[in-house]
Amino acid sequence: MHPELSAFLDLFTLGDAAATQRLADRLNLVLTDATGYAAQFAEELAERGIESEIASQELRDIALIDALLAEDLAVECDWKETAGEIIGSLNYVLTRQKRPPLTETTDLGADEDLGPEQLDLVQEALEPRELALVMFSLDGDSYPLSVVAQEVAEDLAARAQQLGFKLHQW
């Protein structure tokens, strides 16, 4: 197993050893045996419309997203959602991380352009709690998102790249 994998995943699980282990087991498979991963998780990949071999980078990124989604440590939001709707979804992640949820303001971002501008508003809502928004790489019309402590956000992308994953933090 990659020694850095557990430390990387712990940034999302916040010390939940069982969740970190489940995530590490799944992601170690994609890092060491992409074909085996594709075979074992063929049904999940098919739900994403992936039924043939894809580039290993894309498979790793999808594996990270799907693993975190399975643990309620990430959400996928449509690009048409407002910042308020995205915050509502992210509250599931915050609750899973045992962090207090953000106050939901359904009309937050309703007057702004849809798309990345909404993510800026979400980050602004997270900043007073010293949290950072993380967006995972995925081609499509949704935003796979999670939350980490602001103090580790800069280190997060570097750790991800070391392990072979792509993500962006705000």
The per-residue pLDDT string of the chain (170 residues; one tens digit each, 9 = 90 and over) reads: 567 899 999 999 998 999 999 999 999 999 999 999 999 999 999 998 888 888 888 999 999 999 999 999 999 998 889 999 999 999 999 999 999 999 877 677 777 777 788 999 999 999 999 999 999 987 777 899 999 999 999 889 889 989 988 888 87
pTM for the structure as a whole: 0.91
Residues 95, 102: Cα–Cα separation, whole Å: 10
Closest C-alpha to 158, from 13, 4, 30, 15: 4
What's the pLDDT score for residue 106?
67
Q: Tell me, what's the pLDDT at 2?
A: 65
Which pLDDT value is given to residue 14?
Answer: 94
- What pLDDT is recorded for position 146? 97
Rounded-to-integer distance, Cα 64 and Cα 59, Å: 9
- Given this model, what pLDDT does residue 110 score? 76
For residue 123, what are the CA distances in angstroms to 46, 160, 168?
Answer: 32, 20, 12
3-state helix/strand/coil string of the chain? CCHHHHHHHHHHHCCCHHHHHHHHHHHHHHHHCHHHHHHHCHHHHHHCCCCCCCCHHHHHHHHHHHHHHHCCCCEEEECCCCHHHHHHHHHHHHHHCCCCCCCCCCCCCCCCCCCHHHHHHHHHHHHHHCEEEEEECCCCCEEEEEEEEHHHHHHHHHHHHHHCCCEEEC
pLDDT of residue 1: 55
Q: Distance from CA of residue 51 to its chain's centroid?
A: 22
Residue 20 is predicted with a pLDDT of 95
